[in-house]
Structure 1
Amino acid sequence: MPTYTPPLRDMQFVMHEVLKVTDEYKSIPRYADIDAETINAVLEQGGKFAAEVIFPLNITGDEEGCRLDPKTHEVTTPKGFKEAYHQCVQAGWPALSCDPDYGGQGLPLVVSQAFNEMMNSANQAWTMYPGLTAGAYAALRVHGTPEQKRMYVPKLASGEWTGTMCLTESHCGTDLGLLRTKAEPQGDGSYKLTGSKIFISAGEHDLTANIVHLVLARLPDAPKGSKGISLFAVPKFRVNQDGSLGARNPIFCTGLEHKMGIHGNATAQLTLDGAVGTLVGEPNKGLMAMFVMMNAARVGVGMQSLGLTEVAYQNALAYAKDRVQMRSLSGTKAKDKPADPIIVHPDVRRMLLTAKAYAEGGRALAQFCALLIDRELNHPDEKVRKDAAELVALLTPIVKAFITDNGWISTSACMQVFGGHGYIKEWGMEQFVRDARINMIYEGTNGIQSLDLLGRKILGDNGAALKRFGKMVAQLVEEEGVNEKMAEFINPIAYLGEQMTKFTTEIGFKGFQNPDEVGAASVDYLRVAGHLVFGYFWARMAQVALREIAAGNTDPFYQGKLQTARFYFAKLFPETATLMRTARAGSKVLMDTDLALA
């Protein structure tokens, strides 16, 4: 059976020693009084909830799955899920970073981001129920009407109700411009929606009394394509003016997907048969409102794979220390045993360190993004808010795609550490791999994220956002460029940072002549950008560790951090050279292949 220990020490290192979040918050009035002790205390309790309440439900939830009653259209979640959810709501965890005006606790997003990582390590399928609700809360808080905010937002903030986002239809997938769900105005400010949606995570369940669906649909006079999409709030049960639940709305679950992983989450097929909803935001501008939720979900999916990477690493490390097999190539290490623990073997260490480096690099990036969002939403200086928003937009596809790609690599490597036991169910590793694989597809495939990064976020604004991140890299290089002890960390990012401008310009020029060039290079490009970002944070973490060691701190944590940083730069970061070469190979070798693909 797998185990899980919340990585509180590393979270505290990133928040307090690398990012110095409480110093940052002194310039944000809403968070000026937040101190490290409060953050640590909250996360310690959150870690206990994750490890003691929902982690024990992970394997059983996977085995049992969700059950649909075709007569009533009701879905039953696995045993223990409902009770754990009620315990979560009673403890106030969904409201952690929600606005106090809507009943939230008003803590910084950095805190809830760390909590979400632990929850995803413990049980991704369960965590998706409150996770999607947070996105619905964010979308309605920004774009909802006063009535919608009054009716829905406090219930979503508390977790008393859950939320979903209903985008996809069977014929259109990511191409939302093709969706067919219709919304007919009723003359009283409401609309009746007719159509069907698929792949709706947490689309039906028994955890809460009501579910607020955010549904994309077309008005009768809507333009074709994505410019003719509107967004509607469609509750499972209609809500009376006094807040009580009214009649059942005809939005029904007509099927559950039989999936490779996350069996404990209900991935629903929903049919709307004249379901009553209200317009969110402006007519035909639904994607603008939905993108608030979609971007939150993309960061959330990155956190799912980060959580899985961490828990898979912990279990693989424990197994490698315990499992004895063969002798070390450099001589016997455990003379009192018939064989050495497999952790003495170089390739086992390579797999373990890969997962550790990707987990800790991803954690630093995720916490930095949460800090940026806290700035974007709450800083009193408009320029600071604007700069933070642009940097978050740049980093969001990297969080989603790079961290989930790395999660797949890492969970697969950790399963490999177990050898034949890795794909035996009782060890739990094969579930981590199955659950991780879906995250590369969710919320826009990683190929779509790569096109978004290169085509829209970088080439679309002539590299302005990338230059902003480049300045951060350059500042660190200038700060530590003459420090010999930092050379092994600084030189690689300095070199790649210089190359990125030429690399990006070259692809952009080729793309101007032939747009397929952007599509051909984008996936490789995103991984290069991801390594630049991870490299920057690994250099910063190494910087802190070296300073602590120089000051006489003997905590082995810092030596371990340096060793992981050295591994990352020696064994993972050099992938960028190959990726830039394959990105430059161009589109011809892909597109001039009609005979090969005949």
Structure 2
Amino acid sequence: MPAYKAPLRDMRFLIDEVFDFHGSYAANGAHDATPDMVNAILEEGAKFCEQVLAPLNRSGDEEGCHFDNGVVTTPKGFKEAFAQYAEGGWMALASDPAYGGQGLPHSLGLVIGEMIGSANTSFGMYPGLTHGAMAAIGAHGTDAQKQTYLSPMTEGRWTGTMCLTESHCGTDLGIIKTRATPREDGSYAISGTKIFISAGEHDMSENIVHLVLAKLPDAPAGTKGISLFIVPKFLPDASGEAGARNGVACGSIEHKMGIKASATCVINFDGATGFLIGEPNKGLNCMFTMMNHARLGTGMQGLCSGEASFQGAIQYAKERLQMRALTGAKFPDKPADPIIVHPDVRRMLLTMKAFNEGNRALAYYTAQLLDQVHSPDESKRKEAEGLLAFLTPICKAFMTDSGLEVTNLGMQVFGGHGYIREWGMEQLVRDCRIAPIYEGTNGIQALDLLGRKVLGSQGKLMLGFTKQVHKFCEAQVQHPQLHAYVAQLAGLNRDLGDITQRIGMAAMKNPDEVGAASVDYLMYCGYLILGYFWLRMAVVALSKLDEGGSDPAFYQSKLATAEFYFTRLLPRTSAHKAAIEAGSASLMKLSADEFAF
């Protein structure tokens, strides 16, 4: 199994040099997040992930979760690791001080989340779902609900879930069957079954707080009739502790391809006591707070699996001896050269590196927007909200699709050994494979981006980002070393506006044009966005080299990887553009019966 090492140098490059987190923290009033404080948190987070979580990754996959008559037990070491996580204050890091949190910036919490997910994806699911539930309660709960639930969740004594999916519906939540019947005391009786509930039952916390979508008796049809309820496993008693057992039970756990140490549960609600959160029939609006949080976290999982895979692949490529370099022996004192000398292995490694570091830049930029959403400056807040709306589906889908490509390449670098369990590379592929599926499949993310976010706003949400790219290109158009790449990016940015307009016009005649174009449209956007961030990183790297500072090898590596991205990966946009322009005709030509076998 690859030994995870937190990429602190690259993280600090983005935090300190590219995005200036510290300047943003000061502007947003986060005065406790000093450079020394941030550095100490990164160092301690790295130690915890490297020394506590990473060693449990392989054993957790081998053992998996256990189910015994409704009781779920996590693999050996997980309960103790979660206790250490809570005691270390990691759950409280970016949480509200009013409920025991440290109140540090959300972006810092996301950086720590990357380390956790890279070290042990399954473990990261438990606090990840809890943070999402806390966000929904914090945004939409009553003062009493916040006081009851957020304090123990911040402490890590209670955890949370998101209960949406039912056996007959995943994306189409308007047809859910779970029902909520009002009671005289103001609570509701919740009855129904939810499936695929991550962290739905386990032994790591005193209580589990389920956020459940259900319908009231008089609810309108469809998504307009969905309400959201807090349904704890144990009802809080008068002192706020976990009291009587509620009518919530785990019916089974799934036997999955990957993330085996994350309990994926069938949860049965049998007249369970629930409490309305938000307004009746407005539950989907409340749940989107949690879903958007989860989608950003899921996008990060693509980066996390990719980073772990790259670390294993690069070490193996430097050690594995096979054949001689085509240009002659590079290590004549050895029986063969290490495979890193071969162009095709270089292609795989550089693809992994370019996606990982580009996705990290996208993730950290998005994390910075999460901070700005809480800015006292209303204009900054609205700008950040618009950019997040546009970028969230791209983060989720592009980062997970490219992350899956990266983990596949990592396994390929190992050849036959990559297919063998003991090396750990195949586990990373299995763990990553769920990321393009859950929290809204990537096809749904693409429809959300093109149909709802872009066309639904008449292009305003897209323009918020493309104008930023345009201004950057204008400022760098005469850059002596990068002008060719600047022109390449500027051209793609202009084309995106034209492509969007053509899709919109075609969709007015045939709505299928949106569905036909959406995935390629999202991927085009993803490649363009990573190109923008690679140019930003290249500009900084060249500036640092010109200054003659320390660590020139790091900055030279950035420039070489940027060159690879622009010459070997960014041209993929041409294929996506061609597919978009092909329209829906070839997709819809066959009738259902003609899909014969």
- TM category (shorter chain) comes to over 0.9
Identity %: 56
Q: Which residue of 1 aligns with 2:494?
A: 498
1:83–1:33: structure 2 CA closer, same or farther, 3 Å change rule?
closer
Question: Which shows bigger deviation, 588-597 or 356-365?
Answer: 588-597
Q: Which residue of 2 aligns with 1:54?
A: 53
For the residues of structure 2 that align with 1:52 and 1:477, how far apart are their CA atoms? 43
For the residues of structure 2 that align with 1:303 and 1:500, how far apart are their CA atoms? 25
Q: Which residue of 2 aligns with 1:567?
A: 564
The Cα offsets for residues 509-566 of structure 1, whole Å up to 9 and x where unpaired, read as: 1111111100000000000000111111000000000111111135210000101111
Matched, 1:543 2:539: yes
Q: Which residue of 1 aligns with 2:4?
A: 4
What amino acid is the match of 1:75? V
The Cα offsets for residues 120-156 of structure 1, whole Å up to 9 and x where unpaired, read as: 1100001100110000000000101111111101111
Residues 237 and 244 of structure 2 are in contact (CA less than 8 Å); yes or no, is this contact kept in structure 1?
no
Q: Which of 164, 167, 174 is the equivalent residue of 1:167?
A: 164
Is there any run of 5+ residues in structure 2 with no aligned partner, and where? none
Q: Which of 455, 459, 462 is the equivalent residue of 2:455?
A: 459
Q: Which residue of 1 aligns with 2:424?
A: 428
The Cα offsets for residues 434-479 of structure 1, whole Å up to 9 and x where unpaired, read as: 0111000010000000000000110110111111111111111111
Matched, 1:209 2:211: no
Q: Pairwise mapping of residues 483-562 of structure 1 onto structure 2 (< 5 A)? A: 483-555=479-551, 556-562=553-559
Shift of 1:102: 1.1
Matched, 1:39 2:38: yes
Shift of 1:37: 2.1
For the residues of structure 2 that align with 1:434 and 1:520, how far apart are their CA atoms? 28
Shift of 1:302: 0.8
The Cα offsets for residues 49-78 of structure 1, whole Å up to 9 and x where unpaired, read as: 0111011000100010111112xx110000
Q: Which residue of 1 aligns with 2:64?
A: 65
Shift of 1:309: 0.5
Q: Secondary structure of 2:373's match?
A: helix
Q: Which of 407, 412, 424 is the equivalent residue of 1:411?
A: 407
Q: Secondary structure of 2:91's match?
A: helix
For the residues of structure 1 that align with 2:484 and 2:400, how far apart are their CA atoms? 27
Matched, 1:89 2:72: no
The Cα offsets for residues 329-356 of structure 1, whole Å up to 9 and x where unpaired, read as: 1111011100000000011011111111
Shift of 1:26: 2.2
For the residues of structure 1 that align with 2:335 and 2:309, how far apart are their CA atoms? 27
Q: Which residue of 2 aligns with 1:28?
A: 28
For the residues of structure 2 that align with 1:51 and 1:32, how far apart are their CA atoms? 29
1:45–1:554: structure 2 CA closer, same or farther, 3 Å change rule?
closer
Q: Pairwise mapping of residues 89-168 of structure 1 onto structure 2 (< 5 A)? A: 89-168=86-165
Q: Which of 559, 579, 582 is the equivalent residue of 1:582?
A: 579
For the residues of structure 2 that align with 1:489 and 1:102, how far apart are their CA atoms? 48
CA RMSD of aligned residues (A): 0.9
For the residues of structure 1 that align with 2:36 and 2:12, how far apart are their CA atoms? 10
Q: Which residue of 1 aligns with 2:326?
A: 329
Q: Which residue of 2 aligns with 1:364?
A: 361
1:256–1:33: structure 2 CA closer, same or farther, 3 Å change rule?
closer
Q: Pairwise mapping of residues 466-477 of structure 1 onto structure 2 (< 5 A)? A: 466-477=462-473
**TM-score, reference length from structure 1:** 0.98
For the residues of structure 1 that align with 2:580 and 2:35, how far apart are their CA atoms? 43
Q: Which of 580, 588, 597 is the equivalent residue of 2:595?
A: 597
Q: Which of 224, 229, 234 is the equivalent residue of 1:232?
A: 229
The Cα offsets for residues 54-109 of structure 1, whole Å up to 9 and x where unpaired, read as: 11000100010111112xx1100000000000000000001110011111111111
Residues 177 and 226 of structure 1 are in contact (CA less than 8 Å); yes or no, is this contact kept in structure 2?
yes
For the residues of structure 2 that align with 1:326 and 1:208, how far apart are their CA atoms? 53
Q: Pairwise mapping of residues 297-308 of structure 1 onto structure 2 (< 5 A)? A: 297-308=294-305
Matched, 1:295 2:274: no
Q: Which residue of 2 aligns with 1:280?
A: 277
What amino acid is the match of 1:523? V
For the residues of structure 2 that align with 1:465 and 1:244, how far apart are their CA atoms? 44
Residues 352 and 406 of structure 2 are in contact (CA less than 8 Å); yes or no, is this contact kept in structure 1?
yes
Question: Which shows bigger deviation, 283-292 or 487-496?
Answer: 487-496
Residues 488 and 566 of structure 1 are in contact (CA less than 8 Å); yes or no, is this contact kept in structure 2?
no
The Cα offsets for residues 470-514 of structure 1, whole Å up to 9 and x where unpaired, read as: 111111111110112112431221110111110100011111111
For the residues of structure 2 that align with 1:201 and 1:318, how far apart are their CA atoms? 33
For the residues of structure 1 that align with 2:424 and 2:327, how far apart are their CA atoms? 32
Q: Which residue of 2 aligns with 1:188?
A: 185
**Stretches (4+) displaced over 3 A:** none
Q: Secondary structure of 1:415's match?
A: helix
Q: Secondary structure of 1:485's match?
A: coil
Residues 95 and 103 of structure 1 are in contact (CA less than 8 Å); yes or no, is this contact kept in structure 2?
yes
Residues 215 and 232 of structure 1 are in contact (CA less than 8 Å); yes or no, is this contact kept in structure 2?
yes
**TM-score, reference length from structure 2:** 0.99
For the residues of structure 1 that align with 2:62 and 2:156, how far apart are their CA atoms? 26
The number of equivalent residue pairs is 594
Q: Which of 438, 445, 449 is the equivalent residue of 2:445?
A: 449
What amino acid is the match of 2:198? S
For the residues of structure 1 that align with 2:130 and 2:140, how far apart are their CA atoms? 15
Q: Secondary structure of 2:345's match?
A: helix
Shift of 1:33: 4.7
Shift of 1:241: 2.2
For the residues of structure 1 that align with 2:156 and 2:530, how far apart are their CA atoms? 34
For the residues of structure 2 that align with 1:547 and 1:312, how far apart are their CA atoms? 31
Shift of 1:35: 2.3
Residues 136 and 156 of structure 1 are in contact (CA less than 8 Å); yes or no, is this contact kept in structure 2?
no
What amino acid is the match of 1:531? Y
For the residues of structure 1 that align with 2:308 and 2:112, how far apart are their CA atoms? 14
For the residues of structure 1 that align with 2:550 and 2:16, how far apart are their CA atoms? 18
Q: Secondary structure of 1:324's match?
A: coil
For the residues of structure 1 that align with 2:412 and 2:202, how far apart are their CA atoms? 35
What amino acid is the match of 1:295? N
What amino acid is the match of 1:37? D
Q: Secondary structure of 1:93's match?
A: coil
Q: Which of 249, 261, 271 is the equivalent residue of 2:258?
A: 261
Residues 117 and 301 of structure 2 are in contact (CA less than 8 Å); yes or no, is this contact kept in structure 1?
yes
Residues 32 and 104 of structure 2 are in contact (CA less than 8 Å); yes or no, is this contact kept in structure 1?
no
Matched, 1:437 2:436: no
Q: Secondary structure of 1:221's match?
A: coil
Shift of 1:32: 3.5
Residues 180 and 217 of structure 1 are in contact (CA less than 8 Å); yes or no, is this contact kept in structure 2?
yes
1:491–1:554: structure 2 CA closer, same or farther, 3 Å change rule?
farther
Q: Secondary structure of 1:95's match?
A: coil
What amino acid is the match of 2:99? Y
For the residues of structure 1 that align with 2:385 and 2:154, how far apart are their CA atoms? 23
What amino acid is the match of 1:315? G
Q: Secondary structure of 2:197's match?
A: strand
For the residues of structure 1 that align with 2:154 and 2:419, how far apart are their CA atoms? 39
Residues 489 and 542 of structure 1 are in contact (CA less than 8 Å); yes or no, is this contact kept in structure 2?
no
Q: Secondary structure of 1:394's match?
A: helix
The Cα offsets for residues 158-216 of structure 1, whole Å up to 9 and x where unpaired, read as: 21110000000000111100100000111111001000000000000000010000000
For the residues of structure 2 that align with 1:51 and 1:485, how far apart are their CA atoms? 38
